[in-house]
A and B are shown apart, each in its own frame.
Chain A
Amino acid sequence: MKKSLITILSTLFILVLLSGCAEKEQLEDGTKLIQKDQFVFASSGEFKPFSFVKDDMEVTGFDVEVGKAVAEKLGLEPVPKRIKFKGIVEGVKTGRADAAVASHTVNPQRSKHVSFTTPYYYSGPQIFVRPDSKLKNIEDLKGKEIAASKGSTYADTAAEYSKNIKTYDSDITALKALSEGRHDAVITDFVTGKTAIKAGFDIVGRQLIERSEQSIVIPQDNPQLLKRVNTALEELRQDGTLKKLSQKYFGEDITTKPE
């Protein structure tokens, strides 16, 4: 009895020892970086077209190109790093990456743990229907069958307007089902819907429900880096780089605040 108590107590003691923050290199202006000449930024590599891998496993996409452009403005070597999406915020907090350019939507829960830069693109859920549908806005959704992807914020959004919700493992599958004649509407990110329409899905977009802002994630104990990345983003907005990247991936500019 006594022995097992000692075992458990010493176990807890060891676990307590294992919590806190890594030592980084500090530049003259107070910016902290893992390597003083590199900008290590995380993305998932599993979120097409924002971040995905090419056949040789090299990561690319809108997020990754934005990260590279920011690194150049900072005068640092860009080092993209793939981390599974749900581990990215923790990775930034604990010093596995200097920042994350990974389509993180700014929200209060995340803001408690990390800092956000100014938004580098704007998005939000939109209603998608078949071209012959009369459904136009959120009022029309009442009592209709809506499909969304499982566990996403869009499934929660859909639940606010109708009780009849069907969920799929991915947004693309939901849109595919819609185009084949199932369900009355799908709620998903407007960029995702746009990508699907481009890929030949027989659907159209209707009302944009709300707006979300996507930002770069920076550790809270690194205000100088936050300041410098914000400056870099502003320069990228001014010189048209962000707009050009957006045109390249989406065929339109999603980097300026919509009206």
Chain B
Amino acid sequence: MPSLSHFFETFFGKSNVFIDAMLLTLELTVVSIVVGIIIGLFFALLKVSNIKILGYISDVYIYLVRGTPLIVQIFILYFGISSIFLLPDFWAASLALALHNGAYIAEIFRGTIQSIEKGQLEAGRSLGMSPALTLRRIILPQAFRRALPPLGNQFIIGLKDSSLAAFISMDELFNVATTLGSNNFDEMTYLLIVAVYYLILVAILTIIVNLIEKKLSISDR
């Protein structure tokens, strides 16, 4: 274990490199979460649509993602997809992370949409709303609120999973730590430094999710 003074010296001495790396980690995380939510919502709707073939498509996607390790998916998008067209490094990483998050988010949304009582749908319909309008105005807002706690959890997993982008040459936090660590024969110090960065990022993410949760729960009272 490195001494405390050596740790702090490196922590502040290398902060400019680590802050660049942290920004890349944040970019990867934000893009993969936002795109993941869109993908997740889309496949969740396919699954609750009652149209068999759409349900199948959703099943294939979720099975594909949940059935393979994330690192395999990242390599497939980075090396394999190049047969069709060459995705830039950043988008290969972000898209792999987004597709991965999307499958889990789809399952979260499907669960919460199905948890909204049938009566709500019937009430909307009896007021003369179309099924689409009922979904948008009544079902989805409630489903989203119920989805927040598990979503927050998935966001944290997504943030930490972004470290796997290190294997396809993204200079994010983990990659910078292992590269500098092996260059200086001092891996432990650098790994401890990135651990601190991840803890700070997760703390910020948790606070944001809690704030949204509080805001959306006002109508519950």
Contact = CB atoms under 8 A, between A and B. Distances in A.
Indicate, yes or no, whether A interacts with B. yes
Interface of A: 3, 6-8, 10-11, 14, 17-23, 34, 45-46, 48, 52-53, 55-57, 81-84, 87, 90-91, 93-96, 172
B86 interface: yes
Contacts, number: 85
Interface stretch (B56-64, B141-149, B205-213): B56-64
A20 B83 contact: yes
Interface stretch (B120-128, B152-160, B175-183): B175-183
Contacts of A46: 178-179, 182-183
Contacts of A7: 56, 59-60, 63
A21 B179 contact: no
Given A22-B86, A48-B183, A57-B180, 20 more contacts: A11-B63, A11-B67, A14-B60, A17-B84, A18-B80, A18-B81, A18-B84, A19-B83, A20-B83, A21-B82, A22-B85, A45-B183, A46-B179, A52-B183, A53-B179, A57-B179, A87-B79, A91-B79, A95-B86, A96-B78
A61 B180 CA distance: 14
Contacts of B16: 56
B34 interface: no
A22 B83 contact: yes
Contacts of A21: 82-83
Interface stretch (B40-48, B107-115, B163-171, B193-201): B163-171
Nearest to A52: B183
Main secondary structure of the interface of B (DSSP, over half): helix
B193 to A, nearest CB: 14
B199 to A, nearest CB: 23
B183 A3 contact: no
Contact of B167 (A10, A14, A23, A84): A84
A83 B79 contact: no
A84 B168 CA distance: 7
Interface of B: 14, 16-17, 20, 56, 59-60, 63-64, 67, 75-76, 78-86, 89, 166-169, 171, 176, 178-180, 182-183, 185
Of A18, A56, A91, most buried by chain B (CB within 10 Å of CB) is A18
A87 B167 CA distance: 8
A53 B180 CA distance: 7
A21 B82 CA distance: 6
Of A81, A93, A96, most buried by chain B (CB within 10 Å of CB) is A96
A83 B168 CA distance: 7
A87 B75 CA distance: 9
Given A7-B56, A21-B82, A22-B83, A83 B179 contact: no
A185 B178 CA distance: 29
Contacts of B79: 87, 90-91, 93-94, 96
B169 A57 contact: no
A57 B171 CA distance: 9
A156 to B, nearest CB: 23
A23 B60 CA distance: 29
Given A55-B14, A81-B169, A87-B167, A95 B60 contact: no
A57 B16 CA distance: 11
A95 B87 CA distance: 11
Contacts of A81: 169
Contact of A94 (B56, B82, B182, B185): B82
